[in-house]
Amino acid sequence: QKEVEQNSGPLSVPEGAIASLNCTYSDRGSQSFFWYRQYSGKSPELIMFIYSNGDKEDGRFTAQLNKASQYVSLLIRDSQPSDSATYLCAVNKATGNQFYFGTGTSLTVIP
Amino acid sequence: DTGVSQDPRHKITKRGQNVTFRCDPISEHNRLYWYRQTLGQGPEFLTYFQNEAQLEKSRLLSDRFSAERPKGSFSTLEIQRTEQGDSAMYLCASSQSGERGGNEQFFGPGTRLTVL
């Protein structure tokens, strides 16, 4: 079982729509959860992090964490073509400081 | 520029050669991580330093790989006797430890290694 699982996509949404990206993790004791955006050929860029159950909003981005279901999601409102990228979910487990990344979800926002 | 920097950005080498990469973290960050990423995959953890101490190393990491952070600032990653399977993007990230949270990692631009 993979530590972090994401639907690889591709996910396509029209410009202005809400994009919903999902991630599940296997270690129930995981403490910290991160979303990174990665453009083709570039390194990952941190866009959101969340540590507590519930929602966290930052501009057009909302991260949602449900520890009971071991599920974390990212919502992108008013999607723009510039949001087209691969979105990586990362989890910091309770033991040690190792981070585990999913394989990423490819998002395309269609103008 | 106060971000994470990596050098070189690209490296082409022949199989069997040794290569060394450098990472300079964000200056106030005490944690430094190395990852490897291949096409279509997420970053794969290689090793982690807190200050100069190497605290974790992936069990998947071959003994051809070694990393150092001698003064708790910059770090080097060396790959000995490179193999074609080592071709990947090598990413460095840094973070600042603190209370719960404060563990956000920031990535450098990466070093793309091609082994011929």
A65 touches chain B (CB under 8 A): no
How confident is the model at residue B100, as a pLDDT?
A: 53
CA distance A55 to A58: 10
Give the contacts of A15 (CB within 8 A, at least 6 positions apart). Answer: A79, A80, A81, A109, A110, A111
| Whole-number pLDDT of residue A31 | 87
pLDDT of residue A93: 78
Measured distance CA(B71)–CA(B58) in Å, rounded: 22
Closest CA to B95 of B44, B36, B31: B31
Comparison of pLDDT for B91 and A98, the residue scoring more: B91
Q: Is B106 on the interface with A (CB under 8 A)?
A: yes
Residue A2 pLDDT level (bands cut at 50, 70, 90): confident
**How many other β-carbons are positioned within 10 Å of the β-carbon of residue A36?**
25
Q: How close does chain A come to B106, measured CA to CA in Å?
A: 7
pLDDT at A98: 80
Q: What is the pLDDT of residues B87-110, one digit of tens each?
A: 999 999 999 876 555 578 999 999
CA distance, residue B100 to nearest chain A CA (Å) = 9
Residue-level pLDDT at B56 = 87
Q: Which residues pair with A109 in a beta bridge?
A: A13
Choose between B62 and B113: higher pLDDT.
B113
Chain A residues close to B105, C-beta within 8 Å = 34, 46, 90, 99
Copy the structure tokens of residue A56.
């966290």
| Cβ contact, residue pair A97, B48, below 8 Å | yes
pLDDT digits (tens, 9 = 90+) for B27-78: 989 999 999 999 999 999 999 999 999 988 888 788 999 999 998 899 999 9
Give the strand order in the sheet containing B65-68.
Answer: B5-7, B19-24, B75-79, B65-68
Count of C-beta atoms within a 10 Å radius of residue B76: 14
Query: Is the sign of the CA dihedral B48, B65, A1, B110 positive or negative?
Result: positive
Residue B45 touches partner A, C-beta closer than 8 Å: yes
Query: In this predicted structure, which of A40-44, A56-60, B9-13, B99-103 has the lowest mean pLDDT?
Result: B99-103
Q: Residue A96 — very low, low, confident or very high, per pLDDT cuts 50/70/90?
A: low
- Quote the pLDDT of residue A95: 59
pLDDT at A76 over 70: yes
Which residues in chain B have Cβ-Cβ distances shorter than 8 Å to A90?
42-43, 105
Which residue, A44, A36, A2, A27, is CA-closest to A92?
Answer: A27
3-state DSSP helix/strand/coil percent for chain B, to nearest 5?
5, 50, 50
Least trusted range by pLDDT, from A4-8, A49-53, B48-52, B95-99: B95-99
Q: Do A46 and B106 touch (CB under 8 A)?
A: yes
Pairing of β B53-57 and β B111-115: unpaired
